Amino acid sequence: MTSTRSSTASFCACRASCSSSSPFAAASACCWCAPSPGRSTRSGPACAPARRRHRHRRARRGTRRRDRRHGQALEAFREAAIEREHLSANQSRAQATEIERQQRIEAMIGDFRVVIADLLEEAEQTNATFGSASETLSHSASASAERTTSASTTSQSASENVQSVASAAEELAASISEISRQVGQTTQVVTDATVNAQDANAKVAGLAEAANKIGEVVTLIQAIAEQTNLLALNATIEAARAGEAGKGFAVVAAEVKELATQTSKATEEIGAQIGAIQGSTKDAVEAIAAITATMQEVDNYTSAIAAAVEQQGAATNEISRNVQNAATGTTSVSANMGELSNAVAETNASADMVLVASSDVGEKSRIRSLLAKVAAA
């Protein structure tokens, strides 16, 4: 009985000391020191379940703290993964946009290459057309000069024969009347030839103006080639800045620069051909002017012949022969004038060919829109 009281007293003293420090210590002291009813008051085996419960509670609290830390780490990892996905998606979209832009630029450069090729081919065809037209004009001018000389010689012979008729008798009045009619026809033919020569002169002048316009178009093409060369240089610089990724674009830029250089050379050749055409046109103008002057002189001669024929009153056999020679001469003049008209028609056709070729060259301005697209890309 005394032992029980002492154990109880020691328990109360232990509990009081533990409760004075902290409630958790008091609870622990109760678990460790409180005697169980019906059991021995000795400490030890009676408090083992309480110790196990205490350890279990402490383990659960540690687990909850670890779970919270793990949850926070998992949330941070999840947010970092989402951010990486967003960055990867943005990079993919940027790469796709850049690839699409490069493909669009390459397509435009391919179109530009095709246009330049067509331009060079058409320029060669135009050059051939100019050469053919120039040759035709030269031949026509030469033929006109020869026929004019023949007409002048024939007219001189007719004039001499008609001068012989001036001293003839009035017996050949009827023949003189026929001669007068033929001379009138000759005058009309010469007048028509003069008008045709003047018309040919005007058309050749138009040809010279068209050649000047073609020269302006060639200058424009040269300026476009220089601008293309500058764009290719800028593209080469940008490709050099891009490093390894810009090597392919640098190759394309070099090809564009080479095409621009070839275009510049082609336009220089075309300019030289146009200069030659202008020189030939000038020669043709001078030749036609000479033809016109000769036709005027022939017209004056035929007018004088008509006046002399109207004054004749008598004729002899010699007069009849001279009149026949005059008729033959005037017929030759008419034939030569007809050939001259054909030559002038050929000159006009050649001038039309040159005008059509110049209008074809004028259509080369479509390169401007393609350059604008490349610059906008």
d(CA 315, CA 198) in angstroms, rounded, equals 40
Structural domain includes residue 73? no
What is the reported pLDDT for 1? 42
Q: Count structural domains, the chain.
A: 1
Are 363 and 220 in contact, with CB atoms under 8 Å apart?
no
Structural domain includes residue 272? yes
d(CA 281, CA 324) in angstroms, rounded, equals 41
d(CA 104, CA 90) in angstroms, rounded, equals 21
Q: What is the pTM of this model?
A: 0.29
Structural domain includes residue 36? no
Rounded to the nearest 10 degrees, how much is the dihedral formed by the CA atoms of 270, 276, 278, 282? -170
Structural domain includes residue 37? no
Query: Which residues are within 8 A (CB) of 163 and not within 5 positions of it... i.e. 6 or more apart?
Result: 308
Structural domain includes residue 255? yes
Structural domain includes residue 327? yes
Chain segment 187-239, per-residue pLDDT in tens: 777 777 777 777 777 777 777 777 777 778 778 877 887 777 787 777 777 77
What is the reported pLDDT for 21? 42
d(CA 254, CA 265) in angstroms, rounded, equals 17
Residue 320's domain spans which residues?
A: 109-376
Structural domain includes residue 201? yes
d(CA 51, CA 31) in angstroms, rounded, equals 7
Structural domain includes residue 257? yes
d(CA 299, CA 166) in angstroms, rounded, equals 19
Q: Which residues pair with residue 314 across a beta bridge?
A: 169
What is the reported pLDDT for 98? 84
Are 225 and 257 in contact, with CB atoms under 8 Å apart?
no
> Quick one: tokens of 78?
């999840």
What is the reported pLDDT for 9? 40
d(CA 65, CA 59) in angstroms, rounded, equals 10
Radius of gyration of the chain (CA): 58
Chain segment 142-190, per-residue pLDDT in tens: 666 566 566 656 656 665 665 565 455 556 666 666 766 777 777 777 7
Query: Which residues are within 8 A (CB) of 121 and not within 5 positions of it... i.e. 6 or more apart?
Result: none
Can you state the angle between helices 173-242 and 247-310, rounded to 10 degrees? Answer: 170
Give the CATH number, domain containing residue 332. Answer: 1.10.287
> Quick one: tokens of 133?
């037209």
| pLDDT one digit per residue (tens) for the chain, 377 residues | 444 444 444 444 444 444 444 444 444 444 444 444 444 444 455 567 777 777 777 777 767 667 677 777 778 878 888 888 888 888 888 888 888 888 887 887 778 778 777 776 776 676 567 556 656 665 665 666 566 566 656 656 665 665 565 455 556 666 666 766 777 777 777 777 777 777 777 777 777 777 777 778 778 877 887 777 787 777 777 777 777 766 676 677 777 777 777 777 877 777 777 777 777 777 777 777 777 777 777 777 777 776 666 665 455 556 666 666 666 666 666 666 667 666 656 766 665 665 565 555 555 545 555 555 555 55
Burial of 158 per CB tally in 10 Å (0-12, 13-18, 19+): buried
